[in-house]
Amino acid sequence: MDLKTKEFEEFRTLVYETSGINLGEGKESLVSSRIGKRMRVLGMDDFRSYLDCLKHASGGDEMVHMLDAISTNVTSFFREPEHFDFVRDTVTEWMRKGQKRFRFWSAASSSGEEPYTLAMTLAECGLTADTDTRILATDISTRILASAREGVYSQSKLAGMPAGFAGKYFSPVRGASPAGSAVQDRLKAMIVFKRLNLAFPPFPMKGPLDIIMVRNVMIYFDNNVRRNLLADCYRLLKPGGYLLVGHAESLTGLVKEFKCIRPSIYQKPAP
């Protein structure tokens, strides 16, 4: 199947308007490969027919499948570990001051490694689902959210964890091939997984949230989508709460209200 330039531009526009993801020029082969897999599932061999399907009034469900196919999901446990050290130290200080309720948002949770790492970090502080601690984990991909809810990972995925964590927070899955381990229920009880499109704030959550993690996702957005996303993060955070972004990302020139605490860590100032 050959993806014509006009068809590629139509896919670019469709993806941007429905997800905020900005597919750059020169991505024809990537789009052709990923969308082609979905088309084969449907028995289609023509990009024009697939575009017509997506644009039809009944194509809403297929639009979700298309965005699933196009989304990039690269993550790992304890990715950018300094962030989790910061969460541990900050939450420990809040607990010392008597805080009892904790709310966190993993905004681009992908296959679950980030929210489960956050849950392990909080568990090490002594927090559990029984201590009024909740993590909201969202992603645009229904496929990847289903995998995250299942919470089963290969042994290679667990290799980079701190010593003892795999045995403490995961249980072997009997009969699995290849060998895998499942997140224990005590961590799962802290997390709610929901589909959410970050391109369309305001978001339905009420807040206030203590910490929001929007890491390594804004690189796929243009500045307009970034500004709107960040403005709603600011709304949802409590005064004194923190926003964590990817190490390669910056808020410079986007939202002036946040105070930069250190690279990739920002605070909503307390009044």
Nearest to 151 by CA among 165, 171, 127, 131: 171
What strands lie across the sheet with 170-172, from one edge to the other? 152-154, 180-183, 170-172
Q: Using CA of residue 167, residue 171, residue 174, residue 176, what is the dihedral sign? A: negative
Q: Is 174 a catalytic residue?
A: no
Q: Is residue 241 classed exposed, middle or buried when 0-12, 13-18 and 19+ CB atoms within 10 A define those classes? A: buried
> Do the Cβ atoms of 247 and 214 come closer than 8 Å?
no
| Alpha carbons 193 and 180: distance in angstroms, whole number | 21
Q: Which residues pair with 104 in a beta bridge?
A: 135, 211
- Per residue in 89-126, is it b (16+ CB within 10 Å) or e — as a string? ebbeebeeeeeeebbbbbbbbbbbbbbbbbbbbbbbbe
Q: Is 232 a catalytic residue?
A: no
**End-to-end alpha carbon distance in the chain:** 58
Catalytic: which of 34, 38, 88, 134? 34
Catalytic: which of 12, 79, 103, 139? 139
> Do the Cβ atoms of 166 and 158 come closer than 8 Å?
yes
Known catalytic residues are 34, 139
